[in-house]
Amino acid sequence: MNNDIKQFILNLQSKNYSDANSTLESIIEKKLTARIQKSAKKATDGTFFKQEKAIKKNK
């Protein structure tokens, strides 16, 4: 991610705005993907623990 941001800064420095735009899109996409993955993991873990708890309770 940091390398992408460095590349974004270099593109801005060299006034290569189309590449800078592409890099920024890539960064935002990666960040959004990371957020969604984190949220999905949290939801899965929560469900898993809830299921475990329910199973124990039922036992």
Partner 1 sequence: MNIKGILQEKFKDYLSEESLEVISQAFEVSVQQAAAEQQRLNEESLQEKINQLADERAKLQVEAATIQIDEDHSLKLQHLLESIDADHTEKLQKLVEAIDTDHTAKLRQVLQAIDNKHSAMLEQVINKYETSLHSEAATYKDTLVEEISNYIELYIDKLVPQKQIDEATNNIQARRILEQVRQIVSIDEEFINTEIKEALVDGKRTIDSLRRELNEAVSTNRNLSQKLTGTESALLLENKTKSLPEETRRHVKRLLKDKPVEYINENYQYVVEMFEKETRLQEDLYKDEAVHQRLVESTVDRPELEYPSFIEESVSPLRNTAEAGSVTGYLSEMKRLSGKYSRVANS
When binding is defined by CB under 8 A, the residue of 21, 31, 52, 53 that contacts partner 1 is: 31
Tell me: does residue 54 bind partner 1 (CB under 8 A). no
Tell me: does residue 21 bind partner 1 (CB under 8 A). no
Q: What is the full DSSP assignment across 11-52?
A: HHHTT-HHHHHHHHHHHHHHHHHHHHHHHHHHHHHHHHHHHH
DSSP structural state of residue 15: T
Residues that bind partner 1 (CB under 8 A): 1-2, 5-6, 8-9, 27-28, 31-32, 35-36, 39-40, 42-44, 47
